[in-house]
Structure formats: C-alpha cells, structure tokens
Amino acid sequence: MRDGFRSQGFNIIEGETGIVPVIIGDDPKTFTFWRALFDAGVFVNAFISPGVPNGMQMLRTSFMASHEDKHLDRILEVFGEIGRSLGVIH
C-alpha cells in the first residue's frame, strides 16, 4: 500500500506496520477527503490540528491480512480519484 500511495504522489509516513498515514496538510481538506472516502465506502481516521502539528493533518489508513488484493486496489483507486479532485495529487 505504501508503494501504491507513493506512486500516485501521496505524501506518506514511512513505517513497517499495517498503519499507513497519508499526509493531507490542512484541516478542511482532510475532512473533505475523509468524508469523500467515507461516502465511497473507504473507512479511515482523520487527524487534524491540534492533535498533529499544522501541516501534518492526515488520514490514517489501516490494513490487515484479511484485506484481499481487490480491496486494496479499490482503496488505491478511490484515494487517487479523490486526491486528484481535491488537488492533493496531480
């Protein structure tokens, strides 16, 4: 998933766990992105200021072994569509 997010141009926080934070960078855009994902059936957690430093507002994605490839592909597809529509990626 990290490779998939990076290849689309998302800024992620590197790590070795099933949690992949995707940096959005401001409160309103993070909430808008979160809601669009929710409406598309993709469930993530939004972290905004003051819970994170300004500029580090993020969507926290979580993955586990029970996710099938078709689920992961769909998540990346939806992230890409919304990311482009909101100008988070190009």
Per-residue pLDDT at 72: 96
Find the mean pLDDT for residues 29-46: 97
Per-residue pLDDT at 74: 97
Torsion region of 52: left, alpha or beta (phi above 0 gives left; psi -120 to 50 gives alpha): beta
Per-residue pLDDT at 79: 98
Q: What does the domain layout of the chain look like in residue ranges?
A: 2-85
pTM above 0.85, yes or no: yes
CATH architecture, domain defined by 2-85: Alpha-Beta Complex (3.90)
Residue 82: pLDDT band with limits 50, 70, 90 = very high
Per-residue pLDDT at 33: 98
- For the record, the structure tokens of 55 come out as 């500029």
